[in-house]
Amino acid sequence: MELSTEVLLDMHRRMVRIRLFEEAAGKLAEAAKLPGFLHLYVGQEAVAAGVCTTLTDDDQITSTHRGHGHLVAKGGQFNEMMAELMAKSTGYCKGKGGSMHISNLDVGMLGANGIVGAGAPIAVGAGFTNKYKDNGNVAVAFFGDGSTNIGAFHEAANMACALKLPVVFICENNEYGEFTAREKTMAITDIVDRAAGYGMPGVIVDGMDVVAIHEAASEAVARARRGEGPSLVEAKTYRFFNHHGVQNLGLKYRTDDEVAEWRERDPIFSFEARLIEHGTASRDDIDAVWAELRADIETAIQFAEDSPVPTPDQLLIDVYTVMDGSQLIEKGVPA
């Protein structure tokens, strides 16, 4: 490991933050405290942490329906995130977005997205702004293997390359599009094969190895910053839970043995073993990180539970920048 201790510990911390947030969200969902759908990122933490440690707050990311991990890794705070999942007015989206639309523009997170593949074109737009303003920032699109089968991805990848925009495409290949195995939905094994079709470099990395991801992302981001255009990084990873919800074993479309095999390669625990082996951190140091962040999660849950729900008068706010009366007309009230 050539990375600095600071970066290594930062990556570890971000992964633990994601894991704890997701596990807490899962428990709250089981207790019926979270309305709506929940798509957990557990198992894929190394990807968000490895990539986002190469970015600044001014760099932008677009995300997916499985977006909590990306926001945590980009600097999202537990309180506002937990409040949003609980649909409280103190949440990042004031309770109007929820898990699938969680976002925080202040840290450059342009939204989780309920539409598969829709984030990539938006990342192209953010990349366009960066080039237009020559601000040195990079836009990163996170997406899954399944979304590379949708037209929006193709259009976005081609346009980003044609316009030579500072965009990095990060494919999290977790081998399943929702509840269907990747090999049933595409004739290729490696998503990275698609990169050549757009004229961009592509690289495969072990998605359970945060260092490998960080190194690959660093190169892609640096290339984009230099004005040399987009790259594709494919991280081979795995989601430990079901497509949505908190079930992980006994699923019809994958075997428990397969889950167990991937869990053996848990991105956090395997990284911790390396940190200890290399003397970067001790077991006690690592335990202290978990303890500290567990306390933060408890605080966030309390914050969210204590927060008010949105009042009905918030319903029509922020449909437009300014209330222009059109909503009133719709209700049959003369404006």
Binding site for other proteins (CB under 8 A): 60, 62, 91-97, 101, 103-105, 110-111, 113-115, 118, 120-130, 132-133, 139, 151-152, 155-156, 158-159, 162-163, 317-322, 324-327, 329, 332, 334-335
Q: Whose Cβ is closer to other proteins: residue 95's or residue 267's?
A: 95
Q: Whose Cβ is closer to other proteins: residue 156's or residue 268's?
A: 156
Q: Whose Cβ is closer to other proteins: residue 43's or residue 67's?
A: 67
- Nearest approach in angstroms of CB 162 to other proteins is 6
Q: Whose Cβ is closer to other proteins: residue 38's or residue 281's?
A: 38
CB 268 within 8 A of CB 208: no
Of 94, 310, 319, 97, nearest in space to 329 by CA: 319
- Written as one string, the DSSP assignment of 234-297 is EEE---SS-SSSS--SS-TTS-HHHHHHHHHT-HHHHHHHHHHHTTSS-HHHHHHHHHHHHHHH
Q: Whose Cβ is closer to other proteins: residue 43's or residue 111's?
A: 111
Ranges assigned E (strand) in 38-197: 60-62, 139-144, 167-173, 176-177, 180-181
- Nearest approach in angstroms of CB 48 to other proteins is 20
- Nearest approach in angstroms of CB 64 to other proteins is 14
- Nearest approach in angstroms of CB 66 to other proteins is 16
CB 88 within 8 A of CB 309: yes
Of 71, 74, 7, 61, nearest in space to 41 by CA: 71
- Nearest approach in angstroms of CB 106 to other proteins is 8
- Nearest approach in angstroms of CB 164 to other proteins is 12
For 318: left if phi > 0, alpha if psi spans -120 to 50, otherwise beta; the answer is left
Q: Whose Cβ is closer to other proteins: residue 18's or residue 139's?
A: 139
Spatial distance between the Cα atoms of 273 and 278, rounded to a whole number of angstroms: 9
